[in-house]
Amino acid sequence: MEWRERASCQAEDPDLFFPVGNIGSGPTLIQTDEAKAVCRRCPVREQCLAWALDAGPMDGIWGGTTEQERQAMTRRPVPASPGRVTP
Ligand code: SF4
């Protein structure tokens, strides 16, 4: 994963991306916005997001997305059952 060497977040406080001290409530909106601002100017954002989506559920901001946003991106529609008539 050599893309990590070019990550903009390397020069930032990790607590911005993985907040501590607020277990159970997740990152604050301000922390999330600040982390996403760093991601928007990151040259490896696409690689980071693809890696995070492949890795599955994970805490923190990756590729400019929250865990909940990544979950929404990977949700697939439930296929109709074979015996069911659909309009
Ligand atoms: S997209 Fe965000 S979390 Fe991913 S490497 Fe870049 S700055 Fe870090």
Q: What is the pLDDT of residues 53-78, one digit of tens each?
A: 999 998 999 999 999 999 999 986 66
Rounded CA separation 20/26 (Å): 9
* 23 domain-assigned: yes
Identity of the amino acid at 33: D
Number of domains, the chain? 1
> Ligand 1 centroid vs 48 CA: distance in angstroms?
6
* 79 domain-assigned: no
Compute the half-sphere exposure of residue 59: CA atoms within 13 Å on the CB side of its CA.
Answer: 13
* 1 domain-assigned: no
Q: Is 48 labelled a binding residue?
A: yes
> Ligand 1 centroid vs 74 CA: distance in angstroms?
19
* 12 domain-assigned: yes
How far are the Cα atoms of 3, 77, 80 from residue 63, in angstroms, in the given order?
A: 12, 23, 32
Domain span at residue 14 reads 8-74
How do residues 8-38 score in pLDDT, each as one tens digit? Answer: 999 999 989 986 544 455 567 778 899 999 9
Residue nearest to atom 5 of ligand 1 (CA): 7
Tokens of 30: 């301000």
> Ligand 1 centroid vs 4 CA: distance in angstroms?
8
Rounded CA separation 67/53 (Å): 10
* 24 domain-assigned: yes
